[in-house]
Structure 1
Amino acid sequence: METLTDKAPGKREARKEERRLAILEVAKRSFLESGYSGTSMSAISAELGGSKGTLWSYFPSKEELFAAVLDHATVAYRQQLSSVLQPSADLYATIVTFCHSFIGKITMEDGIRLHRLIAAEAGRFPEVGEIFFRRAPQPTQRMLADFFLHEMAAGHMREDDPLAAASVLASLCIGGLHQRVLWGIVEPTPADVEKEARYAADIFARAFDIARS
């Protein structure tokens, strides 16, 4: 029979996780609204209403907190990519789906605000750019590279460096609509995202000898 002492550790862990998620939510809002330099551990602690020691016990530095915010913001997307990047009889369709998902993600409001933050502050705070790259673009490119390695081995696309191919596809996705949204020139529509995804996928398919459906 389960006792109160059996339940206690689970409740404590749940409270810790709730507290951690609350910290990440406040930190995310602060980073996106105030930038990296304008965000302080003290201000986050004050907003949460706890002691500075509590915050530091979860995240010993602002760099680690920023990394955790990025991890939390991208974990669901990486899971989504895992389901998209599966072997299929129609590689072109898979690439279109990836491009649509990726372009949609990076042109969302939070994605645009994050890219503006990185562009504005990486020069003064190189750690910001490094943390962002290791937590966001790099994992996505590695997932793509693993997928392409399998597809190249199966003869579904031209053999090349799979990581370089992943970088090419990512670059195609961020080179058009994303740039116009980033600089405030346009507001993206679903039709815009669909058109951009098809365009990027078509160029990539021609470059790597992928049959188009």
Structure 2
Amino acid sequence: MAAGGADPPALDRTGTRQTAETDKRRQILDGARSVFMSAGFDGASMGEIAKVAGVSKGTLYVYFDSKEALFEALTLEEKRGLAEALFQLDADDPDVRGVLTRLGRTYLVHMIRPDHVAIIRMVIGATEKFPRFGQAFYEAGPAQGVARLAAYLDRQVATGRMRRADTELAAKHFLHLCQAGLLTRLLFAAGSPVTEAEIGPRVSEAIRVFFAAYGPED
């Protein structure tokens, strides 16, 4: 009996079950991430994923009916989470340079993470066989980021802090100015590893060029 003589509501039991299911799904995704990162998409197997995740193959198939479905869920979560973390922009902050500088730095810090680069490589590799992977990955990550940044820039145009422009294109320009070939270098493992010391100058130069094109008109 609960306090006051009433039975615990059914919602509590349902909530507990849903929490357990969410935890189990998280456990599977964490195991799958480890296997995909070490073996790649083609080299990974559902048996190995179940083993690393600490679940039975039967349990694994209850949550994901194929390796493809599991891979898609994992990569979408990665990009969606990144977009949520990076593109929380205060549209009313009058310090546009400050907002964009913080975004640029955070964007590059995440961009150079080895695990992030590895996931992009895996998606590119799997997209030839499963085109929907690339489409879904793009829509969940890059497209979401551009849309959020464009919405922020729309507000800056409306307040006169930026000149009138195609803000979707401007958002793409800013993000590409920040990484300016960096992602290509990382994907091909060309040159030395990227250091955080490179990030500040890159972002500063991106801001300079971006404002030369999109800054407020005199």
TM-score class normalised by the smaller sequence = 0.7 to 0.9
* Whole-angstrom distance in 2 between the partners of 1:119 and 1:200: 27
- Whether the 8 Å contact between 1:84 and 1:97 is mirrored in structure 2 is no
Match of 2:188 among 183, 187, 209: 183
Match of 1:94 among 99, 103, 107: 99
Give the equivalent residue in structure 1 for 2:83: 78
Give the SS at the match of 2:94. Answer: coil
- Could you say if the C-alpha distance between residues 210 and 159 of structure 1 is closer, same or farther in structure 2, counting changes exceeding 3 Å? same
When structure 1 is superposed on structure 2, of 115-124 and 134-143 the one drifting more is: 115-124
- Could you say if the C-alpha distance between residues 207 and 61 of structure 1 is closer, same or farther in structure 2, counting changes exceeding 3 Å? farther
Give the SS at the match of 2:215. Answer: coil
- Whether the 8 Å contact between 1:103 and 1:173 is mirrored in structure 2 is yes
> Which residues of structure 1 form unaligned runs of 5+?
none
Counterpart mapping for 1:1-213 below 5 A: 1=2, 3=7, 6=10, 7-184=12-189, 185-210=191-216
> Which of the two has higher C-alpha Rg?
2
- Whether the 8 Å contact between 1:96 and 1:198 is mirrored in structure 2 is yes
- Whether the 8 Å contact between 1:36 and 1:117 is mirrored in structure 2 is yes
- Could you say if the C-alpha distance between residues 126 and 47 of structure 1 is closer, same or farther in structure 2, counting changes exceeding 3 Å? same
Query: What is the one-letter code of the residue matched to 1:118?
Result: V
Query: Which one has more relative contact order, counting CA pairs under 8 Å at least 6 apart?
Result: 1
TM-score, scaled relative to structure 1:
0.84
Give the SS at the match of 2:98. Answer: helix
Return the offset for 1:70: 2.7
- Could you say if the C-alpha distance between residues 62 and 170 of structure 1 is closer, same or farther in structure 2, counting changes exceeding 3 Å? farther
When structure 1 is superposed on structure 2, of 141-150 and 112-121 the one drifting more is: 112-121
Give the SS at the match of 2:41. Answer: coil
TM-score, scaled relative to structure 2:
0.83
For residues 138-175 of structure 1, give each alpha carbon's deviation from its aligned partner in whole angstroms, at most 9, with x where no partner exists: 11111111111211222221222222222222222332
CA RMSD of aligned residues (A): 2.5
Query: What is the one-letter code of the residue matched to 2:198?
Result: D
Percent of matched pairs sharing the same residue: 26
Give the SS at the match of 1:88. Answer: coil
- Could you say if the C-alpha distance between residues 48 and 81 of structure 1 is closer, same or farther in structure 2, counting changes exceeding 3 Å? closer
